[in-house]
Amino acid sequence: MPIAIKDIFCTRGVKTTCSSRMLANFVPPYDSTVVKRLKDAGAVILGKLNMDEFAMGSSTENSAFFKTLNPWDTSCVPGGSSGGSAAAVAAGLCAASIGTDTGGSIRQPASFCGVVGLKPTYGRVSRYGMIAFASSLDQGGPITKDVTDAAMLLNVMAGSDPLDSTSVDAPVPDYARGLKDGVKGLKIGIPKEYFIEGLDREVEGAVNGAIDALKASGAETVGVSLPHTEYAVGVYYLVATAEASSNLARYDGVKYGLRVDNAAGLLGMYRATRDRGFGAEVKRRIMLGTYSLSAGYYDAYYKKASEVRTLVKRDFDEAFKKCDVILTPTSPTAAFRLGEKVADPLTMYLSDIFTISCNLAGIPGMSLPCGFTSKGLPIGLQLLGRPMDEATLLRAAYTYEQGAGWHKKRPAL
């Protein structure tokens, strides 16, 4: 299978830049575990894919090198931060790709580009050799043309890894085996907090159509509540930026990456290197994270956010007592236009409002196509599952996909 890799995974002998000037010439001496497992399974690695710098963004407009375009409409963004991964699959440049998801960075671009994107349970896929953004949230996963390919790739990628202390030592089932088992009797939770004011009418209509299709296939729907959803974006942008502030401290011009030598003294070199190496969005998040971890503010911001994160996780625990899978829109809208939200970071952050809670809770989630807008842009359906239960997610997704057939549509290039 010819596969392309998001440029956040280390690839031996091939540049790994994270779409940042800081790592513009970095060539790793080793492969990440995900890349090694793919190679061992016979995958052909075609190359590396563009992304938002250090995976910080929702549109792939934060790349230090170039903007990626949406194959369905080149005036629109492909989503982010795995925009290159989703666009490459949608455009047929590769059979599948690998992305990462910290707050929706696999699922949102999959939604915008009309492909399938799967974020596994935290710890299901090794993070060794995957350049860190927020270590308690990051997870790698496949972006594919259909659900079957996603199951096949997860079979290869999943499993414990002694090189990653956060990977979970749990059995890996054959995800492709149960795809055709159907959804008869499966209980699908519909959270009221995800069908809110501001949700695009065409998106809501397509998602409601998917609910009806699954019910017609034998699934049951139940109402569930996730009451702390409204706090998810605020919690995420405290936890994620705090961890980014810590993780990105290593880029100081000393060990690897960019080094500005004509600065005055050691501190001058640090300052000049980080100023030139990091883009505006990365700097913004480092400053937010450093502030929330600083003396006098830690309890009010980072600690409080961590406590609310636990409440978000408990919401899902309670909801899954009533259902097997939770169904929501992936994003409030279809793909927006290039440059539309660049000057308004808060509006950009809110494009991930439906995907962030999944990462905070550490549960698996996926996006698959469920229709198109009147302008011909793809609409994504999100399914969320219990921890380590990717198999049920894939089965529900496959049942809907085979009946709906949206995965067969391709952009006219």
Pairing of strands 325-329, 378-385: antiparallel
Q: Tokens 């992305």 belong to which residue?
A: 99
88 three-class SS: helix
User: Please, are residues 332 and 353 in contact by the beta-carbon 8 Å criterion?
Assistant: yes
Both tokens of residue 173?
């089932």
Question: Which residue is catalytic, options 20, 32, 81, 97?
Answer: 81
Name beta bridge partners: 144: 96, 116
Catalytic status, residue 6 = yes
CA dist., res. 228 & res. 357, Å (int): 9
Candidates 32, 59, 105, 331; catalytic one: 105
Specify whether 75 is catalytic. no
The C-alpha atoms of residue 150 and residue 167 are separated, in whole angstroms, by 20
Residue 43 CA neighbour count, 13 Å, CB half: 25
- CB-based contacts of 137: which residues, under 8 Å, 6+ apart? 102, 103, 122, 236, 239, 240, 243, 359, 360
Cα gap 81→323, rounded to integer Å = 30
The yes-or-no answer on residue 81 being catalytic is yes
Q: Minimal CA–CA distance to 400: which of 179, 248, 222, 95?
A: 179
Q: What is the 3-state secondary structure (H, E, C) of 270-319?
A: HHHHHHHHCCHHHHHHHHHHHHHHCCCCCHHHHHHHHHHHHHHHHHHHHH
Residues forming the active site: 6, 81, 105
